[in-house]
Amino acid sequence: MACGLLALAVCLPRLGAAAQTADGQTTDVMTYAVVVTGLGGEEAYEKLIQGWGKDLYTALRRDGVAEQRLFWLAAQKQEGVSAESRQEEIVKLLGQLAGRIRPQDLFLLFLIGHGSYDDYDYRFSIPGPDLTAAQWSELLNRIRAERQVVANMTSSSGASLTALQRKGRVVITSTSAGRERNFSVFARYFVEALQGTVADANKNEEVSALEAFQFATGEVARYYESFKRLATEHALMEDRGEGEGVRQPSPQTGQGLLAAAIPLVRLGPRQAAAATPQIRDLRAKKRTLEEAIEELKYRKPAMDTSDYMRQLEKLLLELSRTQQSLDKLEGQ
C-alpha cells in the first residue's frame, strides 16, 4: 500500500510544486488554515482538545501558514486563539475568508473535539448552538479555493463525510460512521504527524494530507492494540468528491490522489527561487528520473525481482547523482 500511495505523491509533482515558493507561498497561491476546537465537557477532555488544538496551531504556524492566514477558534480563550468557537464567530470568520480566498489558494479546516450524530444530523459540539454537517458544508462551499482539506477529527465525524465532500476537497473524518461515538484520539496522531519528520514517508520534506492521514491511522491502530481494546474509531478519507470514504487510500481504492499532492507542512529549507538553465535542466532530469522510478515500481509485480532491482538501482544512482549536482549548484 505504502508504495502505491507514495507513487501518487510523486506522480503529481506539479500540483504540489505549484504551491512552493521561498516563503512557502507564491504570489499566486496562499494557504489559509482554520483550527476549531470545541467543547470538552469534562476537564480531562478539555485539556486534550485544547492541547491538540494548540499543538496543531503551532505546527502550522511554524511550518507553512503565515500568521495572518492562520486562525484558531477555541472554546476557551488562550494564547493564539483568535476568537471563541461559537457558531456566530465561525460563521463570521468563514464569511470573511470567503471574500479573501481565491480559487488558486489552498484552504485547510481542522475540527477537534466532540461530535454527535442522532441518525439524522452530525453536530460539532461548540459553545452555544452546535453546527451541523450541512451548515459546515454551506460555509465551506462559499470558500472559492479549488483545493481544500477538511479534517473533522471528532467523534461521530464519519456522519459528516457525505455532506462535506466536494470536488477538489480532501475530507478526512476520524470515524467511519456516526455510530462511532466514543472520544476519538485520531487528532492526537494527526497533529503529531505535522509536528516533525516522522510522517514524511517519502522524505520530500513535506507532510502531505495523505501522509498525515496514514501516519495517524497507523498510530491509532497501534494505540488500541497496545491496550488490547477493540478500536472504536476508523478514520476515512475521501478526495474525489464522490463515492464513499476509504480507510486505506490507494490507487486500488481510487482515493488519495489529491491528498498526496497537498502539503500541510513543510519541513526543510525552501527551494531557491533563482534557477539557472543548468539548474532547470537538472530539475527536469530529476523529475524524469522520479517518474521513471515510479513507473518501474508500478511494473514491479510483473517483473523478475533481480531485473527490477538492477533497474531500480541504476535509476536511483542516477537520481542521487543528479540531486548531488543540483545541491552543489543550489548551494546546499
Q: Which residues contact 256 (CB under 8 A, 6 or more apart)?
A: 5, 8, 210, 237, 239, 249, 250
Q: How far apart are CA 149 and CA 110, in angstroms?
A: 8
For the bound state, the minimum distance from the C-beta of residue 267 to another protein, rounded and expressed in Å, comes to 12
**Binding to another protein (CB under 8 A): which residues in 190-219?**
193, 197-204, 214-215, 218-219
Minimum CB–partner distance for residue 316 and another protein (Å): 5
Q: Is 328 in the site for another protein (CB under 8 A)?
A: no
Residue from 17, 88, 317, 328 that binds another protein (CB under 8 A)?
317
d(CA 92, CA 99): 11
**Maximum pairwise Cα distance, the chain:** 64
Contacts of 127 (CB under 8 A, 6+ apart): 39, 75, 84, 85, 86
Pick 218 or 251: Cβ nearer another protein: 218
Decide if residue 70 touches another protein (CB under 8 A).
no
Q: Does 272 bind another protein (CB under 8 A)?
A: no
Binders of another protein in range 136-195 (CB under 8 A):
193
Q: 148 or 322, CB closer to another protein? A: 322
Q: Which is nearer to another protein, 125 or 322 (CB)?
A: 322
Give Cβ neighbours of residue 198 (< 8 Å, ≥ 6 apart): 192, 215
**Stretch touching another protein by CB under 8 A, among 63-71, 248-256, 276-284, 288-296:** 288-296
Query: Using the rule CB under 8 A, which residue among 14, 67, 99, 228 binds another protein?
Result: 228
Q: Which is nearer to another protein, 203 or 280 (CB)?
A: 203
Q: Pick the closer one to another protein by CB: 95 or 316.
A: 316
Interface with another protein, residue 320, by CB under 8 A: yes
* 70 closest CA partner among 107, 24, 16: 107
Asked if 183 and 194 touch (Cβ cutoff 8 Å), the reply is: no
Q: Is 3 in the site for another protein (CB under 8 A)?
A: yes
- Nearer to another protein (CB atom), residue 73 or residue 237: 237
| Nearest to 35, CA basis, from 153, 139, 207, 116 | 153
Contact with another protein (CB under 8 A) among 146, 290, 298, 325: 290
Among 10, 139, 149, 257, binds another protein (CB under 8 A): 10
Nearer to another protein, 99 or 331 (CB): 331
Beta-carbon contacts of 192 under 8 Å, excluding residues fewer than 6 positions away, are 55, 198, 199, 215, 216, 219
Contacts of 4 (CB under 8 A, 6+ apart): 250, 251, 252
Q: Least CB distance from residue 167 to another protein, whole Å?
A: 29
Q: CB neighbours of 149 closer than 8 A, spacing ≥ 6?
A: 106, 107, 108, 109, 169, 170, 172, 209, 259, 262, 264
Residue 63 beta carbon to another protein: minimum distance, rounded to whole angstroms? 17
Between 169 and 234, CB nearer to another protein: 234
**For residues 91-107, b (16+ Cβ closer than 10 Å) or e, as one string?**
eebbeebbeebeeebbb
* Count, residues near another protein per rule CB under 8 A: 38
| C-alpha dihedral sign at 178, 181, 187, 189 | negative
Which residues make up the interface to another protein (CB under 8 A)? Answer: 2-3, 6, 10, 193, 197-204, 214-215, 218-219, 222, 225-228, 289-290, 293, 297, 309, 312-313, 315-317, 319-321, 323-324, 327
